[in-house]
Amino acid sequence: MSTDNVYINSIRNFLQPIWNLLTDEKVTEVMINSHNEIWVEIGGKIERTSAQFKDEDSLRAAANNIAQSVGRRINNEEPRLDARLPNGYRIHAVIPPCARKGTTMAIRKFSAVQFTFKDYVAIGAMSTDGAQFLDICMKLGKNILVSGGTGSGKTTLLSVLCSRIPKGQRIIVIEDSSELKVEYEHVVLFETRLPNEQGLGEVNIRDLLKSSLRLRPDRIIVGEVRGSEALELIQAMNTGHKGCLGTIHANSAEDALVRLEALAQGGDSQLSEKALRHQIGSAIDVVVQISRYPDGSRRIGSITEVMGFDQAGLYNVKPIYELSRLQRQADGKLKGELIPAGHLPTFMNEIEDNQIPFPRSKFNPR
For residue 1, pLDDT over 50 is answered with: no
Position 5 scores a pLDDT of: 60
What's the chain's length in residues? 366
3-108: CATH, from 3.30.450.90, 3.40.50.300, 3.30.2020.30, 3.40.309.10? 3.30.450.90
What is the average pLDDT value for the chain, to the nearest integer? 89
Beta strands in the chain (DSSP E): 27-34, 37-42, 45-48, 80-84, 90-94, 104-108, 144-148, 171-175, 187-191, 219-222, 245-249, 286-292, 298-309, 315-323, 327-328, 334-335, 338-340
The Cα-based distances of 150 to 87, 108, 267, 281 in angstroms read 21, 11, 24, 25
Asked if 188 contacts 213 with a C-beta cutoff of 8 angstroms, the reply is no
The span from the CA of 65 to the CA of 56, in Å, is 14
Average pLDDT in the 268-276 region?
78
For residue 74, pLDDT over 60 is answered with: yes
Q: Which amino acid makes up residue 294?
A: P
Position 2 scores a pLDDT of: 52
The span from the CA of 133 to the CA of 285, in Å, is 13
pLDDT (tens digit, 9 = 90+) per residue, 122-144? Answer: 989 999 999 999 999 999 999 99
Strand-strand pairing, 219-222 and 245-249: parallel
Position 7 scores a pLDDT of: 55
At residue 111 the predicted structure's pLDDT band, cuts being 50, 70 and 90, is low
Average pLDDT in the 284-307 region?
94
**Cβ-proximal residues to 98 (8 Å cutoff; 6+ apart), any chain:** 79, 80
Position 112 scores a pLDDT of: 62
For residue 267, pLDDT over 70 is answered with: no
> Crossing angle, helix 205-212 and helix 229-237, to 10 degrees?
20
For residue 198, pLDDT over 60 is answered with: yes
Position 200 scores a pLDDT of: 80
The Cα-based distances of 87 to 13, 71, 162 in angstroms read 16, 16, 20
Position 271 scores a pLDDT of: 78
**Nearest by Cα to 26 from 13, 53, 45:** 45
The boundaries of every CATH 3.30.450.90 domain in the chain are: 3-108
Overall fold of domain 117-363: Rossmann fold (3.40.50)
Average pLDDT in the 259-287 region?
87
Q: Find which of 109-123, 184-198, 236-250 is predicted with most confidence, using mean pLDDT.
A: 236-250
**Higher-confidence residue: 216 or 366?**
216
Asked if 172 contacts 217 with a C-beta cutoff of 8 angstroms, the reply is yes
pLDDT (tens digit, 9 = 90+) per residue, 19-56? Answer: 999 989 889 899 999 999 999 999 888 999 999 999 99
**% of residues, the chain, pLDDT over 90:** 59
At residue 359 the predicted structure's pLDDT band, cuts being 50, 70 and 90, is very high
The span from the CA of 63 to the CA of 172, in Å, is 31
Position 251 scores a pLDDT of: 93
At residue 14 the predicted structure's pLDDT band, cuts being 50, 70 and 90, is confident
Other beta carbons within 10 Å of 137: 24
Sign of CA dihedral 272, 241, 223, 257: positive
The boundaries of every CATH 3.40.50.300 domain in the chain are: 117-363
| Cross-strand bridge partners of residue 299 | 291
At residue 193 the predicted structure's pLDDT band, cuts being 50, 70 and 90, is confident
Asked if 52 contacts 17 with a C-beta cutoff of 8 angstroms, the reply is yes
The span from the CA of 253 to the CA of 303, in Å, is 8
String of DSSP letters for 114-134: PP-HHHHHHTTSS-HHHHHHH
**% of residues, the chain, pLDDT over 70:** 96
